[in-house]
Amino acid sequence: MSLHTALKNATLRTLPFADAISEQLPLGQLLRLSLFQISVGMASVMLLGTLNRVMIVELGVAATIVAVMIAIPVLVAPFRALLGFRSDTYRSAIGWKRIPYLWFGSLWQFGGLAIMPMGLLVLSGDQVAGPGWAGEVGAALAFLLTGLGMHMTQTAGLALAADRASDETRPQVVALLYVMFLIGMGVSAVLIGTLLRDFSALRLVQVVQGAAVVTIVLNIIALWKQEKVNPMSRAERAAPRPAFSDAWRDLTQGNDAARLLVVVFLGTLAFNMQDVLLEPYGGEVLGLSVSATTLLTAMWAGGALIGFAAAARWLKTGLSPHRMAARGILIGLMAFCAVIFAAPLSSGTLFFAGAFCIGLGGGLFSVATLTSAMTIKTTGTAGKGLALGAWGAAQATAAGVSIFAGGALRDIINHAALEGTLGPALQSNATGYSAVYHLEIGLLFITLIALGPLVRARAVNPKPAGPIGLADFPT
C-alpha cells in the first residue's frame, strides 16, 4: 500500500465528513458552502434566546410584545415551501437558480440585524421624536426581515447542496450542514452571551450589528462560485413558469410526501411541546435544585445520541424507517407517562428516566422521518427546493407552535387550577404541566395513526456495516 493510499484511508477513518465529498462537490467547496448554516445558527440564537432575554430583563419590554416579536420568524416559516419552489423555477440570463435566493436572503438577514438594535431601543422607550408606534413597527420589521432572510438562505442553501451532491453523498452532505448549524448556534451563544454580559445600549448596537456584518461575510464566502453559469436563451427565460399549485400537486400526488409532512408536523409538535417545561417542572413540582435540573439537558441529549446510534444500526439491517418512527413514538409515550407519574410519586429518578426516553424517542423519530424525506421522489414541476422547503416549513412551524402552546397552556391551566376553578383535586401547581404532557401523549397517538398507512413491510437498501458517521444524524 502506497503512502498516498494509507493517508487517504486514515483520513476517511478519522474525519466524519470525509464520506460527504464527491467529484461534483469537493471538500473545500463543501466546507465553504456550509458557512451559511453558521450564520443561520447565529441568527437563531439571537432571535430565540439572547434578544428574548435582553428585551424582557435589560430593556423592560412587556412579555406579550416580546412573544409577538419572537413569533414573527415562526409565522413566516410556512413560506419556505414557496421560496424553495421559486428557486427551483428561477429564470436568469446566466442560468443561476439558487445563488440569487442565497444572496437576497443574506441581504434581508443582514438588513434585519442591522436595524434591530435601534428598533429595540426605541421599543424600550428610549425615544425623543417620532410617532409612539415607531418602536413596535421598527422591531417587528427587523424580526420579519431577519426571519425571512434566515428561511430563504437556509432553503436555497440546502437545495444547492442537494443539487451538487451525488445520490450517494447527499445524506452525508445534508448531515454535515446540520452539524454546522449546531456549531453556529453553540459558538454564537457563548460569544454573544459573553459580549453582552456588561450590558449597555452601545454594546447592544455593537454586538447585533457586528453579527450582521459577520452574516454577510460568511454568506458571501459560502455562495462564491458554488453554482455553474448555465446561460438561458431568450425563449427559455420567456417561457411561463409553472404554477406553485401544480408543483405542490406533483410533489404530494403519487407518493407519500403529503402524509409524511403531516407526520413530521404532528410528531415535532408532540415531542417539542415540553421544551420549555421540563426544567421548571423539575424545580417547581419536584423541588429539584438548579444544578439537578440542568442535568436534564444532558439526559435528553444522551437519549437522543443513543437513539441516533440505534437508528443507524437498524437502518443498516434494512428496517423500514416508518417502523422505526413508530418505535420512537412508542418510546415517547412511555417517556411522557414516566414524567407525569414522577409528580405523585415524588420520584426524581422516574423524572430523569422520562427525560432520557424523550430524547431517545425523539432521536429515533427524527432519523426515521429524515430518512423517509430524503427518499421523496420529485416529479414533474416539483424540485428539490420545494421538497426541502416543505420539510423545513413543517418542522420549523411545528417547533415554534409547540413551544408557544406548551408555555401558554401551562400558564392558563395552572392559573385556573390554583384559583380553584378546576376543583380541589386539581388545585396544584403540577396540573398545568400534567395537562400539557397528557396533550403530548394524545398527539403521539394521533401521529401514530397518521403514520399507520406508511408502515409497510419494505426495507430500505441496507448500508454496509461501518462506524456511525454524520449521515446517521437527523437534519
Of 225, 203, 226, 206, nearest in space to 214 by CA? 206
Of 344, 367, 340, 365, nearest in space to 354 by CA? 340
Q: How far, rounded to the nearest angstrom, does the alpha carbon of residue 131 sit from its chain's CA centroid?
A: 37
Q: Please determine whether the domains at 21-238 and 244-472 fall in the same fold group of CATH.
A: yes
Q: Which helix (H) or strand (E) holds 268?
A: helix 257-272
**Contacts (Cβ under 8 Å, ≥6 apart) of 394:** 261, 264, 265, 268
Per-residue pLDDT tens digits for 73-129: 777 877 777 777 777 777 777 777 788 888 888 999 999 888 888 887 887 776 666
Domain-by-domain residue ranges, the chain? Answer: 21-238, 244-472
Sign for the CA dihedral angle at 66, 71, 72, 74 comes to positive
Query: In terms of CATH, what superfamily is 244-472?
Result: MFS general substrate transporter like domains (1.20.1250.20)
**Cβ-contact 339, 383 below 8 angstroms:** no
The position carrying cell 422505526 is: 324
Phi, psi at 264, each rounded to 5°: -60, -45
Length of the chain: 475
pLDDT(213) > 80: yes
> Residue 466, SS3?
coil
Phi, psi at 474, each rounded to 5°: -75, 160
pTM of the predicted structure, to 2 decimals: 0.70
CA distance 363 to 359: 6
Of 404, 473, 391, nearest in space to 154 by CA? 391
**Contacts (Cβ under 8 Å, ≥6 apart) of 96:** 90, 227, 229, 230
pLDDT at 262: 87
DSSP 8-state assignment for residue 59: S
Per-residue pLDDT tens digits for 129-187: 667 667 778 888 888 898 888 888 888 888 788 777 776 666 567 667 767 777 787 78
At the topology level, CATH places domain 21-238 in: Growth Hormone; Chain: A; (1.20.1250)
> Residue 357, SS3?
helix
Question: How many of the other CB atoms lie within 10 Å of CB of 316?
Answer: 17
pLDDT at 469: 45
CA distances 6 to 9, 10, 189, 273, 468, Å, are 5, 6, 39, 49, 21
